[in-house]
Amino acid sequence: MNTPKKQAEKLLDKAGITINGKNDYDPQIHNEKLYQRVLSGGSLALGEAYMDSWWDVKNLDGLFYKILAARVQENFNFSWPVLLTYLKFKVFNLETPSKSFEVGQKHYDIGNNVYGAMLDKRLTYTCGYWKTAKNLEEAQEAKLDLVCKKIGLKKGDTILDIGCGWGSFLKFAAEKYGAKGVGVTVSKEQVKLGNKLCVGLPIEIKLQDYRDLTGKFDHIVSLGMFEHVGVKNYNTYFKKAHELLKDDGLFLLHTIGANTSSGGIDPWIEKYIFPNGMLPSAAHISKSIEGLFVMEDWHNFGADYDKTLMAWFENFNAAWPKLKSKYSEKFYRMWKYYLLTCAAGFRARNTQLWQIVLSKRGVRGRYTSVR
């Protein structure tokens, strides 16, 4: 009889995974109802069951790396949550101006103490650049400097940071390059702390939707925000960036990218971590910049996000004894699942990290790529 458990065993066997096995990546099942739950609810149910302690595994990222590397998910039929998430992004605009602040409230406003414990000292919540870096601090400093070099930042230049977080890039650009700028975010907590961190510098951080921005800037950067824009708004987003950028300026887009243009994100991530988010494909971006920008450079260092996420988890896990008085065990399992399953996705190269440099009219002579 082909029971749900037998189906699960057969699928996992393709990745060399044994249910209740002895390897650190073998899942240990605590509730036999898990198989039917996952069969009915797909990846959403799998994540929720982990949060409910229905199953455990010593090496969570190792388990998911093996699953993704073996492409086990391609043999799994669409579940209703997956199908509904896909249809939501196809039918509805989930990132209207009124909805754009939802991710700020649900994700970025959970508490600066979590992010302060997890991130580097500058609170940089985007992928680090590990080319020569030995630790998270070095990787984030290298990434921020890489962005400055790619846009040719000079003293006195004005920068717009769309989705500025706690202002880490703007602060770095002001301190190291003598630049000044404006940042916008949809998180109230980021605005409060970000402006405190940037006191005394020519920087302003505002709670604002990118569609309401006005002015002209020498350069624009957007680091890890484009994942919240949504395919139905890509053209609006790039038109606004085109309007705000001076004719001889550069726009650097730093975004997680998908290998296909299927739309949407994993239903568990969408429900618990990044509501209304979606990952763009290369085709989405190239089509949306047509007639607006010249693509000067496209740099993929997605494998570095694996290292970044693992460093974040190490920090979060070490700080948990101090954090757990304010957060539940279920939150800990949710956050662990988020960080480690995402690390596995980048390790398996299922997801990418792109830095794309755009100009309005093409850089005269040539643009020199920076690595």
In a domain, 140, yes or no: yes
Range list of β-strands (E), 127-216: 158-162, 180-185, 203-207
On the 0-12 / 13-18 / 19+ scale of CB atoms within 10 A, 137 is middle
Mean pLDDT in residue range 107-119: 90
Average pLDDT, the chain: 91
- Of 77, 108, 126, at which residue does a domain stop? 77
Asked if residue 358 lies in contact with residue 293, where contact means CB atoms within 8 angstroms, the answer is yes
Phi, psi dihedrals of residue 25, rounded to the nearest 5° = -95, 0
Asked if residue 267 lies in contact with residue 82, where contact means CB atoms within 8 angstroms, the answer is yes
pLDDT of residue 357 exceeding 90: yes
Same domain, 309 and 244: yes
Q: Which residue has the higher pLDDT, 206 or 8?
A: 206
Same domain, 199 and 293: yes
144-202 pLDDT per residue, tens: 999 999 999 999 999 999 999 999 999 999 999 999 999 999 999 999 999 999 999 99
Question: In the annotation, is 342 catalytic?
Answer: yes
Q: Residue 282 and residue 350: Cα distance in Å, rounded? A: 13
Q: Residue 135 and residue 22: Cα distance in Å, rounded? A: 32
Please report the pLDDT score of residue 95 as a whole number: 55
In a domain, 339, yes or no: yes
Please report the pLDDT score of residue 92 as a whole number: 47
In a domain, 243, yes or no: yes
- Other Cβ atoms closer than 10 A to 297: 18
In a domain, 85, yes or no: no
pLDDT of residue 358 exceeding 50: yes
Same domain, 46 and 120: no
Count up the domains in the chain and report the number.
2
Asked if residue 207 lies in contact with residue 186, where contact means CB atoms within 8 angstroms, the answer is yes
Same domain, 225 and 110: yes
Asked if residue 210 lies in contact with residue 184, where contact means CB atoms within 8 angstroms, the answer is yes
Same domain, 145 and 215: yes
Please report the pLDDT score of residue 72 as a whole number: 81
Please report the pLDDT score of residue 2 as a whole number: 80
Catalytic residue chosen out of the listed positions 127, 148, 198, 342: 342
In a domain, 370, yes or no: no
Question: 43: domain range?
Answer: 4-77
- Of 77, 108, 141, at which residue does a domain stop? 77
Domain with residue 251: its CATH number is 3.40.50.150
**Per-residue confidence at 39, pLDDT binned at 50, 70, 90?**
confident
Please report the pLDDT score of residue 275 as a whole number: 85
**CA dihedral sign, ordered 57, 61, 67, 70:** negative
Mean pLDDT in residue range 293-299: 98
Same domain, 46 and 158: no
Please report the pLDDT score of residue 109 as a whole number: 78
- Please name the residue that has the structure tokens 């509730």: 31
pLDDT of residue 12 exceeding 60: yes
CA angle 200, 206, 207 (to 5 degrees): 145
259-282 pLDDT per residue, tens: 999 766 788 998 999 888 889 999
Mean pLDDT in residue range 312-339: 97
Same domain, 142 and 232: yes
In a domain, 369, yes or no: no
Please report the pLDDT score of residue 267 as a whole number: 87
Asked if residue 148 lies in contact with residue 358, where contact means CB atoms within 8 angstroms, the answer is no
Same domain, 10 and 159: no
Same domain, 172 and 236: yes
Residue (of 283, 246, 276) closest to 262 by Cα position = 283
Same domain, 348 and 313: yes
Same domain, 54 and 107: no
Note the pTM of the prediction, 2 decimals.
0.93
Same domain, 69 and 164: no
In a domain, 92, yes or no: no
Of 22-26, 99-103, 289-293, the one with minimum mean pLDDT is 99-103
pLDDT of residue 326 exceeding 80: yes
Token duo for residue 359: 């100009």
In a domain, 366, yes or no: no
